[in-house]
Amino acid sequence: MSTILPSTQPTRDEILAALNAPSNTRPQADPLGQEDFLRLLTTQLQNQDPTDPMDPKDMITDLTGFNQLEATLKLNASMDVLVNGLASLQTMQAAGLIGKSVKVEADSFEHTAGETEQLKLKVDQPLQDVTVVISNEGGLVKEIPVGTLNAEDKLISWDGTDSLGQLVADGVYKVTAYGTDERGEIQSIATIVPARITSVAIEGSGGLKLSLATGEIVSMDSVREITE
């Protein structure tokens, strides 16, 4: 009686495990294709134990699993191309914002003497004793009492004057807003101010950063309105 030698070929489970293993756990080589898989499967069939042959249903399952894996890899590659294309499109669109005036979530803005500035407060909870403070490098310019606000955006105006009613000069000014919540604690309020975009930078992660004329750098997501 002939002796059946143990097979040195990879088993079905080993093949499937190799196909599904992360790429960094396999040697850097050309990925397995469908022909490679069929060749391995044929070799396995030729070296299988005649007393315990492979179930044809298992072979069909293996083929189906491989086809699904191959389709998934192709889909992932297509999605990568799509994402890169969208990122490039977003960059081109952002470049078109250079020189534009926008409304952006920030705390500094350019002021032209004699003009009235429209500033928006982003209030996310009811607040009392809301106050808006306008300042510059020299310190406090003016405090604007607003009073009680509900959880909603509030538009306020600054007429460009200081606490004495005198018109202030051109320059970069800062706005700070705060109020008192129901627990009596002081809460800061985010502000949306007019700004002009001077440049666009691409982060390593693919995100976009906008440089404003005031010197602030903000994310693309902080833009709330494009005015011109």
pTM of the model: 0.58
Confidence band (pLDDT; 50, 70, 90) for 7? very low
pLDDT tens per residue across span 58-74:
656 666 666 676 677 67
Domain assignments of the chain as residue spans, ordered by start: 12-19+32-95, 101-226
Per the model's pLDDT, the better-predicted residue between 214 and 10 turns out to be: 214
pLDDT tens per residue across span 24-48:
554 555 555 556 666 766 776 666 6
- 87-96 CB contacts, 8 Å cutoff, 24+ apart: 87/206, 90/208, 90/220, 91/200, 91/202, 91/208, 94/200, 94/208, 94/210, 94/220, 95/200
Dihedral sign, CA of 216, 218, 220, 224?
Answer: negative
> CA-to-CA distance for 156 and 220, rounded, in angstroms?
24
pLDDT of 47? 65
Average pLDDT value for the chain: 78
pLDDT of 156? 94
Chosen CATH of 101-226 out of 1.10.1370.30, 2.60.40.4070, 1.10.3720.10, 3.90.180.10? 2.60.40.4070
Cα distances (angstroms) measured from residue 78 to each of 64, 73, 74: 21, 9, 6
Query: What does the angle CA 147 – CA 195 – CA 115 come to, to the nearest 5 degrees?
Result: 65
